[in-house]
Amino acid sequence: MDIKDIIKPENKVYSKTSLMTDNALSYCPGCGHGTAHRIVMEVIEEMGIAHDTIGVAPVGCSVLAYDFMDIDMTQAAHGRAPAVATGIKRLWPDKFVFTYQGDGDLAAIGTAETIHACNRGENIVIIFVNNGIYGMTGGQMAPTTLGGMKSSTSPFGRDIGTMGNPIKMTELVANLPGVYFASRQAVHKPSNVRKAKKAIRQAFENQKEKKGLSIVEIVSNCNSGWKMAPVQSNIWMEENMFPYYPLGDIKVDDVILGK
Amino acid sequence: MSELKLMKGNEAVAEAAIRAGADAYFGYPITPQSEVLEYLMSEQPEKRTGMIVLQAESEVAAINMVYGAAGTGKRVMTSSSSPGISLKQEGISYIAGAELPCLIVNVVRGGPGLGTIQPSQADYFQSTKGGGHGDYRLIVLAPASVQEMSDFVKLGFELAFKYRNPVLMLSDGVIGQMMEKVELFDQQPRLDYFDPAWTTTGKTDDRGRNIITSLDLDPYLMEKHNQMLQAKYRKIEELEVRVEEIMIEDAEYIFVAYGSSARISQKAVELARAKGIKAGLLRPKTLFPFPKRIISELADRVKGFLSVEMSAGQMVEDVRLAVNGKVWVEHFGRYGGVVHSPNEVLDALENLIEKK
Amino acid sequence: MGRAKGAIVVDIEKCKGCNICVVNCPTDVIELSKEVNGKGYPYAYMENPENCTGCANCALVCPDGVIEVYRVIV
């Protein structure tokens, strides 16, 4: 069968959602942000809620998320996205509100906003992309940088004794009663993308049902910051990030798993 | 029908917020303005008008809740006192950059640092010159009575929406804490129209998506945005100056004072007049825009200006710029939380008249 | 039941040559080009199109969303 006979509109089984704009993504080659963006937008498209959704972009690599997500969006100050989302959601309780934040934004400078939005049980979704480094500013140590991991501000490796431990933010907030759903996923392999998308769908369904806060962490790569080729960075992520940040649901239907 | 009540200044702000049809208040306790949040919580405005009141985890969070809600076109506000307002500056800069309407109330206390909980006017620079990073201005209203604490809430929201600009009500611990008769305005409806040109209420097929941001990586576009902001500020300077003039028709010496210092200076005018000194008072109700032209014109016919502020001398710089060397301009004020008396103000004027 | 035949279309100018689709293709269809696009990146293409089943794994993991997938049952 000729390829020309396969490539016909009626045979199309996958293309990017129309809720992703045609702007070329500003992310480095192989960066998981693009995939994470796309599956969030796919969920919003599949639920038919694009007209009722307001996203909050952070400061970090995804500061320009609003260039790529074709929905109403607000760009928040560094770390403040959960407070900004709170302000929107409290006044528009029937709209869907989500934040999209990196590890520096959510787990360092925005720790207070994150914890208190979670503790109040704000009925929002938090998408938390954790790549263990500050990508946009050039590869500095993040709150989630692994012990021994090199960055431009831990050039000899993160010394736990003086620089502190990498913080497991999703487990931490899962302990708060306001958090209804907490899950950690990845987007580097097809099976992971499917699971991550399922978790994001669950999070938005929870918001629809007014269940409280849902957080989906996506452990991702930063090949530029980690100074590796994209495929190599994904292998490194599996071997080093996943043991410390294990994938899977952490809290489902208000119940912490394994407790 | 309007209603007469005896209230604290801070309570008047809270009641006025409900009556002005505010959609939300986000705040954090700090002396001497905690009554705003306390009054709102006990008044349960959600039952009266549907207004949302939320105690945030910090002033930083509160101003960012304002930012998010203001971006959806809602009528929202926060209040705090000096150290808390310092914490809000990041958010205020974003709000100014993104051109969002909102009302911020500062019931000023003495600084710097944790300072004191007593009244002060030492946040003038912070309020009128931007406060946070970048080239921006707030519209700054300076109430001098409990009545104006109420009236300026309504005016503040009107100006905020007229110019899509944050409005700061610069009060102080005296006005916030004292009780006076206040004529409360009638209940206004809450907003039911959200401008499709900019509000983020969910995109529609008609308008496409809206984005609230203060970011542009292209410096030439950012310069253009800044020029547009500056043009807006010039228009505000042209159209929105508000003052009260007391006995200035024949005055030889002018006190320039706002807020509680204006009340004290008004008494000093009476004392001066009783002694045969032709003093008058110019009270700016707007500190940005500052009444530059009015002061400049007065400078053509008076002998001197005394800027009376509970600070080490901040507004005096703007008075000097407006007078531009035509006559003398000096400052008097107690500060660090100390409130000057009318006699101290008069003494300062008399000393200057003697020296000059 | 027939056999699935697939094909992909890559937006060559937006492809960044990250290679992630290549390693995730279960039937070794995709390779990176020897030439580069306007941005200087090699781009994904079907080196072995006859092996493609249209499973869409490549498109699922493509960070830049530049892959369209087509599929027919023959």
pLDDT 10s digits, C19-67 = 999 999 999 999 999 999 999 999 999 999 999 999 999 999 999 999 9
B23 and A CB contact within 8 Å: yes
Residues 199-258 on A with a CB inside 8 Å of C are: 229-231, 234
pLDDT band, very low/low/confident/very high, at C1 (cuts 50, 70, 90): low
In A, minimum Cα distance to B74 occurs at A91
Q: Which residue has the higher pLDDT, C3 or A218?
A: A218
The residue among C30, C64, C67, C69 with the most chain A CBs within 10 A of its CB, best to mutate, is C64
Count of C-beta atoms within a 10 Å radius of residue B285: 22
Give pLDDT < 70 ranges for chain A: 259
Is the alpha carbon torsion for A163, A166, A170, A175 positive or negative?
A: negative
Residue B225 has pLDDT above 70, yes or no: yes
Taking an 8 Å cut-off on Cβ atoms, the answer to whether B74 and A50 are in contact is no
Tell me: the pLDDT tens digits for B163-196? 999 999 999 999 999 999 999 999 999 999 999 9
Question: Contact at 8 Å (CB) between B141 and B155?
Answer: yes
pLDDT of B257-270, one tens digit each? 999 999 999 999 99
Residue A2: inside a domain: no
CA distance A258 to chain B (A): 31
Percent of chain B with pLDDT over 90: 98
Count of domains forming chain C: 1
Q: How far apart are CA B105 and CA B113, in angstroms?
A: 19
Quote the domain boundaries for residue A139: 28-256
> Under a CB-based contact definition with an 8 Å cutoff, are residues B23 and B160 in contact?
no
**Strand, helix or coil at A157?**
coil
Q: What is the pLDDT of residue B230?
A: 98
Determine whether the interchain pair C69/A12 forms a contact, defined as Cβ–Cβ distance below 8 Å: yes
B3-202+228-238: CATH topology is Rossmann fold (3.40.50)
Contact A91 B23 (CB under 8 A): yes
- Computed over every residue of chain B, the mean pLDDT equals 97
- What CATH number is given to the structural domain containing A174? 3.40.50.970
CB contact at 8 A, C63 and A35? yes
Do the Cβ atoms of A88 and B91 come within 8 Å? no
| pLDDT > 70: percent of chain B | 100
List the structure tokens of C4: 């699935």
Contacts of A118 (CB under 8 A, 6+ apart): A82, A126, A173, A176, A178, A179, A213, A215
| Residue-level pLDDT at B41 | 98
Mean pLDDT for the stretch of residues B20-42: 98
Nearest CA among A80, A83, A30 for reference residue A221? A30
Please tell me if residue A141 touches chain B, with a CB cutoff of 8 Å: no
A3 interfacial to chain C (CB closer than 8 Å): yes
- C20: domain range? 4-73
Q: Could you tell me which residues come within 8 angstroms of residue B241 by beta carbon, excluding any fewer than 6 positions away?
A: B284, B286, B289, B290, B291, B293, B294
Cis check for the bond before B289: say yes or no (omega within 30 of 0): yes
Residues from chain C contacting residue A194 (CB–CB below 8 Å): 60
Residue type at B33 in one-letter notation: Q
Q: B60, B64, B104, B133: which to substitute to probe chain A, counting the most A Cβ within 10 Å? A: B64
CATH of the domain at C18: 3.30.70.20
Give the pLDDT band of residue C2 (cuts 50, 70, 90).
confident
Contact between A7 and C70 using a beta-carbon 8 Å cutoff: yes
Rounded to an integer, what distance in angstroms lies between the CA atom of residue B351 and that of residue B202? 63
> What residues contact residue A97 under an 8 Å CB cut-off, 6+ apart?
A53, A54, A55, A56, A85, A88, A89, A124, A125, A207
Q: What is the pLDDT of residue B2?
A: 76
Interchain CB contact of B216 with A (< 8 Å): no
Query: Structurally, what CATH architecture does the domain formed by B243-355 represent?
Result: 3-Layer(aba) Sandwich (3.40)
**d(C-alpha A194, C-alpha A45), whole Å:** 16
Q: Which residues of A touch B91 (CB under 8 A)?
A: 77, 80
Give me the pLDDT at residue A182, please.
Answer: 98
**Please, is A239 exposed, middle or buried when counting C-beta atoms within 10 Å of its C-beta (0-12, 13-18, 19+)?**
exposed
Residue B1: pLDDT band by 50, 70, 90 thresholds?
Answer: low
Q: Which chains touch A (3 or more CB pairs under 8 A)?
A: B, C
Q: Does B197 touch chain A (CB under 8 A)?
A: no
CB contact under 8 A, B68 and A83: yes
Tokens 């309780």 belong to A93
* Residue B62 with chain A: CB contacts under 8 Å: 83
Number of domains in chain A: 1
Query: Looking at the domain assignment, is residue A197 inside a domain?
Result: yes
Q: Is C59 on the interface with A (CB under 8 A)?
A: yes
What pLDDT is stored for residue B251 in this prediction?
Answer: 98
Q: Do B60 and A113 touch (CB under 8 A)?
A: yes
**Measured between beta carbons, which residues in chain A are less than 8 angstroms from residue C61?**
35, 187-190, 193
Give the per-residue pLDDT at B43: 97
Mean of all residue pLDDT scores within chain C? 97
CA distance A59 to B70: 19
Q: Nearest 5°: phi and psi at C4?
A: -80, 130
